[in-house]
Amino acid sequence: MADLTLVVLAAGMGSRYGGLKQLDPMGPNGETIMDYSVFDAVRAGFNRVVFVIRRDFEAEFKERIGKKYEKLLKVDYAFQQLDDLPDGFTVPEGREKPWGTGHALLAARNILDTPFAVINADDFYGADSYKQLAGYLSNPPESGLVRGVIATFILSNTLSENGSVARGICSVDNDGYLRKVTEFTKIVKTSSGAADQTDPENPTPFTGNEQVSMNSWGFMPEFIGKLQELLIEFLKERGTELKSEFYLPGAVDTLISRNEAVISARNSRDSWFGVTYREDRPMVQESLGKLVEAGSYPSPLFDREA
């Protein structure tokens, strides 16, 4: 088995949730969603985890989260900082919003030299998604292009009852390759499925059966260089804006459109769930409890004496 790294994007501000949801207990014995992610990744063959976090909660994160994994796999950290930009670029006056998931991944650019997966800290993806990612990363196809894989989920299974969500709608060809990811930032449930309400006067309807990106990706190391190039392009075009974001799905979509990347799409058999709003928490706790009762996970998840 090749060395495989799991990158966990955990630097989000949690503005809609109202706190550091990455550290909230969700499992029957106080486990966080990240605990289940790392557990599933280790079972799938990952032997290293890199947490992308912010400096302001570094000590608490390492004490409450990172140290419990140190006997399971190698643990490293990277730090997303607003002013961590390529030469020639500066943060515009008044900007406080982070630069997005693509920028967050680049915080780990100097320590990613093996095949890696990248996930959100506050999303539960299920064991099958990690098996899909590890299977690809352990034996990627030969290609002169940027190589990668995405574990997709069904849109209707990723919506919140408590507000809008951002999702990347995926187009997959008959050979199982990702052709396009279109980011929608205000998707809500409707009586007929779902709709993006970015423009309330002209909402974009969905059936709910669409495959979506939940930021569950796998890449070979060469992806990082391309991502850096795309960040520079983004900053040239939108770097003076106060709220623009450099989304990872958008970066992948650009590479596909330029015929610079080949991304295998693997639809996960498991259900996704996550915490976008604080009101989502009871549903997540109930779902994890059912999985533990069914024997999918031990209880407690980790040996507290380890």
Q: What is the pLDDT of residue 270?
A: 84
Cross-strand partners of 204 = 196
Instruction: Read off the pLDDT band of 19 (50, 70, 90).
Output: low
Contact 119, 125 (CB under 8 A): yes
Angle, helices 127-138/33-44, rounded to nearest 10 degrees? 40
Contact at 8 Å (CB) between 43 and 132?
Answer: no
Regarding predicted confidence, which is higher, 64 or 195? Answer: 195
Q: Check if the beta carbon of residue 59 is closer than 8 Å to that of residue 67.
A: no
Tell me the average pLDDT across 202-209: 95
Q: H helices within the chain, ranges in order?
A: 33-44, 58-64, 101-106, 127-138, 223-238, 248-257, 281-293
- pLDDT at 275 (0 to 100): 77
User: Would you state the pLDDT for residue 12?
Assistant: 72
- What value does the mean pLDDT take over residues 86-112? 95
Tokens of 202: 């002209």
In the block, residue with structure tokens 């997005």: 100
Predicted local distance difference test score (pLDDT) of residue 60: 83
Beta strand 165-172 pairing with 146-154: unpaired
C-alpha to C-alpha distances, 71 to 68, 144, 188, nearest whole angstrom: 7, 37, 41
- pLDDT, residue 22, reads 62
How many Å is the maximal CA-CA distance in the chain?
Answer: 57
Alpha carbon separation from 295 to 68, 229, 290 (Å, rounded): 22, 45, 9
φ/ψ of residue 116, rounded to 5: -145, 150
pLDDT at 14 over 70: no
* pLDDT (tens digit per residue) in 241-294: 999 999 998 899 999 999 999 999 999 888 888 877 778 889 899 999 999 999
Answer yes or no: are the C-beta atoms of 148 and 252 closer than 8 Å: yes
* Chain center to CA of 146: 19
Pair of tokens at residue 180: 């396009």
Using alpha carbons only, how large is the chain's radius of gyration in Å? 19
| Residues sharing a CB contact under 8 Å with residue 24, sequence separation 6 or more, in sequence order | 32, 275, 281
pLDDT of residue 24: 79
- Reported as a pLDDT band with limits 50, 70 and 90, residue 17 is very low
Q: What is the pLDDT of residues 113-159, one digit of tens each?
A: 999 999 998 889 999 999 999 999 999 888 889 999 999 999 998 88
What pLDDT score does 306 carry? 38
Q: Average pLDDT for residues 164-186, to the nearest whole number?
A: 92
- DSSP for 182-221? EEEEEEEEETTEEEE-SSTTS-EEE-S--EEEEEEEEE-T
Please report the pLDDT score of residue 15 as a whole number. 46
- Interval 43-90: pLDDT, tens: 999 999 999 998 888 888 888 888 999 989 999 999 999 999 999 999
| Residue 73 DSSP class | S
The average confidence (pLDDT) of the chain is 90
Angle at 166 between CA 37 and CA 39, to 5 degrees: 0
